[in-house]
């Protein structure tokens, strides 16, 4: 699927969300291979903000891992659980998410272009991007309490992997890897802090982070 087709698919989703809505499964059925990155980008956007989404984080992480696993294994289109396929894209909240996706892609096109295409195209490239999404999903699903940015860092890893594939810009996969490394370093730093300071770190976070 080329860039114009992705833009058109987003526009159609926005129109459906403003009207009677459309299920995620129906939307993905029309996208084929592009459905992996389209769905991952769409679902990753709510996790980019710095606040924890509680139980939704685990559900989201498992969904991303499933998408990445299937793409990494060379599947031709996503096969999501029934609950995810029946997720209805409808209402003002989803309209805002979809419009943000459209603006994000438009913004990224200011600095993305087709380069190092072999990193994101062909069987090897598609599998590589799939495993990046899979890794981001696992990192997102890790139980890290309600720490700030524990959602946003792995979500950004997923977002840039998807942008790299949709825009055919292989360098965006390096950005995705960078966010993955940043996530791991952040989790290690938090783990070390908990080990050294124990319960004191919980008191400090609760005083500093009101959520």
The model's pLDDT over 38-80, given as tens digits with 9 standing for 90+, comes to 788 888 888 888 777 777 788 788 888 988 998 888 887 777 7
Q: What is the pTM of this model?
A: 0.78
The pLDDT assigned to 159 comes to 92
The domain tally of the chain equals: 1
Check whether 203 has a pLDDT greater than 70: no
Containing domain of residue 175, as a range? 3-208
The DSSP secondary-structure symbol of 32 reads T
Kindly state the average pLDDT of the residues 16-39. 77
Nearest Cα neighbor of 45 from 79, 10, 4, 21 is 10
Check whether 30 has a pLDDT greater than 80: no
User: Percent of the chain beyond pLDDT 90?
Assistant: 18
The pLDDT assigned to 23 comes to 82
The pLDDT assigned to 146 comes to 66
187 burial level (CB within 10 Å; 0-12, 13-18, 19+): middle
Residue 104 phi/psi, 5-degree rounding, is: -65, -45
Question: Which H or E run contains 88?
Answer: strand 88-89
């Amino acid at each position: 699927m080329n860039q114009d087709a992705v833009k058109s698919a987003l526009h159609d989703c926005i129109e459906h969300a403003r009207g009677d809505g459309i299920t995620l499964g129906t939307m993905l059925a029309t996208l084929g291979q592009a459905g992996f990155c389209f769905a991952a980008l769409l679902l990753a956007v709510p996790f980019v903000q710095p606040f924890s989404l509680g139980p939704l984080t685990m559900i989201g992480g498992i969904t991303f891992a499933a998408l990445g696993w299937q793409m990494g294994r060379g599947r031709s289109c996503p096969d999501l659980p029934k609950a995810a396929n029946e997720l209805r894209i409808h209402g003002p909240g989803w309209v805002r998410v979809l419009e943000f996706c459209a603006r994000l892609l438009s913004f990224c096109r200011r600095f993305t272009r087709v380069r190092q295409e072999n990193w994101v195209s062909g069987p090897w490239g598609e599998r590589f991007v799939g495993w990046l999404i899979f890794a981001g999903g696992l990192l997102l699903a890790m139980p890290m309490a309600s720490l700030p940015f524990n959602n946003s860092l792995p979500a950004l890893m997923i977002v840039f992997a998807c942008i790299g594939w949709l825009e055919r810009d292989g360098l965006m996969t390096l950005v995705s890897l960078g966010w993955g490394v940043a996530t791991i370093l952040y989790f290690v730093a938090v783990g070390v802090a908990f080990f050294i300071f124990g319960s004191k770190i919980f008191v400090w976070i609760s005083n500093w982070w009101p959520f």
